[in-house]
Amino acid sequence: MSKRKADNEMATAAQKVNPADAIQIVGDITINKSQPLEEYQKLINTRVAVDQIVDDDITKENFTKIAAAARDVIWQILFSDDSDSGSDADAAAESQKKASDLLEEYKGDACFYEPMPYNEWIVKLRDELLQRQQLDFWRDTIVKKQLGPCWSRDSDLFDSDDEPPLEFYAHAGCVAPFATSLKVRAAEKATSGDEDPGAALDRSNCNEAALTSDFEATISVDQPLIDYRDLMKRYVLTTCIVSDEIQQKNIDKIGQATRSTIWKLLFEGTPTQVEFDKAAELLQEYKGDAGFYGPWEFNKWIVKLRDEVLQREMLDFWGQKMVEMELGPCCARDSDYFDNMDEVPLEFYDKAGFKAPFDPSKNSKE
């Protein structure tokens, strides 16, 4: 969107609703003693914590006014000598609770919006409490709930370079609840997201070999799949950048070794079931990689392999492995070299009474 268009949009949006007008508090406000917490919360939610974009100065000013009203009403509840100080214990306890709840809520907001006025005022409140010997409120509310000055424990406007307000609490036989924890702080150990350089040396040797194509590709008949995977991991899945040409060379080298090992497994001596299994699983893995790195060599060779298998009448291997496991030429079913415009290799499987293990009608969307 062009800047001008954006500006226009902003302007029209601003004309539609001018949230600033809606929320701006004109003149002073007061909070009633009967339900101070609810009133306070409502004011904050409608005049300060609004999601629309309002000029920051307005929300700030609103908070300043609401905070002043909150401080006033707390002071009134605690220190006004009218109704309920001493006369009725229940009523006194209830009003103390009101003051305590509002103070806690207000402090939470002050920590976020404007800690300084709170930090100055709370000292005055403390002095008044101590002077009037209202020690219960001091101990059970201010000290216990840590309602002293905002600091790095509860506000992001402070950090560990700032003095913790230990002194504030050190009155009437109290200490700051966090005094001990300042000395001993337990926290979970951080674990950095670095990988452990375990086989780093081996890695760098492999990378070097991969860069020059200077390695032996040998795949034993005993554990062909493990050998194959190891070669791929070392010389193809490198951690360094290998030029495409060299990479292809490395893949060809490993591919060649793979094909000759499969050939050995199947056609040298009399293969056992174990060797059939090994050949099939290697062939499957090799086909998977071929489908990704380039299937053309595989697709040519697999036809030769099939012909040799059929000529030697290894029908078990043909039926149970090559046909059932779909080890024929790579196609759109298993490789992103192809798409649904390409023919699927039905006729490859159409030998010795077998059919392709997939249904082409599911593939073509016609």
Partner 1 sequence: MSNLKIGSILTIGASALGAFYLGSYTERRSNNESGRGDKLTRLPGLPAFATVSAASLIPASESNLSATPSRIGQIMKYGFPGLDHVRSQSDYVLSYDRRNRVPHWVFEHLTAESVAKNDAVDRAKSDFKPDESIHPYFRAQNTDYRRSGYDRGHMAAAGNHRLHQKHCDDTFLLSNMAPQVGQGFNRDAWNTLETHVRKLTKFYTNVYVCTGPLYLPHKEDDGKMYVKYEVIGSNTVAVPTHFYKVIVSEAADQKLHMEAYVMPNKVISNDTPLQVFQVPPETVERAAGLLFFDQLNRQQLASINGKKI
Residue ranges binding partner 1 (CB under 8 A): 6, 10, 49-51, 53, 56, 59-60, 108, 112-114, 116, 152-153, 156-161, 185-194
Closer of 117 and 294 to partner 1 (Cβ): 117
Q: Smallest distance from the beta carbon of 53 to partner 1, in angstroms?
A: 5
Q: Is the dihedral of CA 178, 182, 187, 192 positive or negative?
A: positive
Closer of 18 and 223 to partner 1 (Cβ): 18
Q: Smallest distance from the beta carbon of 200 to partner 1, in angstroms?
A: 12
Closer of 161 and 245 to partner 1 (Cβ): 161
Q: Smallest distance from the beta carbon of 7 to partner 1, in angstroms?
A: 9
Closer of 7 and 313 to partner 1 (Cβ): 7
Closer of 162 and 324 to partner 1 (Cβ): 162
Q: Smallest distance from the beta carbon of 238 to partner 1, in angstroms?
A: 16
What number of CA atoms fall less than 13 Å from residue 160's CA on the CB side?
3
What number of CA atoms fall less than 13 Å from residue 328's CA on the CB side?
23
CA separation for the pair 239, 338 (Å, rounded): 28
Q: Smallest distance from the beta carbon of 157 to partner 1, in angstroms?
A: 8
Closer of 158 and 235 to partner 1 (Cβ): 158
Q: Smallest distance from the beta carbon of 49 to partner 1, in angstroms?
A: 5
Neighbour count for residue 93 (Cβ, 10 Å): 12
CA separation for the pair 239, 75 (Å, rounded): 67
CA separation for the pair 135, 331 (Å, rounded): 84
Exposure letters 133-161 (e unless 16+ CB within 10 A, then b): ebeebbeebbbeebbbbbbeebbebbeee
What is the per-residue DSSP string for 84-111?
SSSS-HHHHHHHHHHHHHHHHHHHHHHH
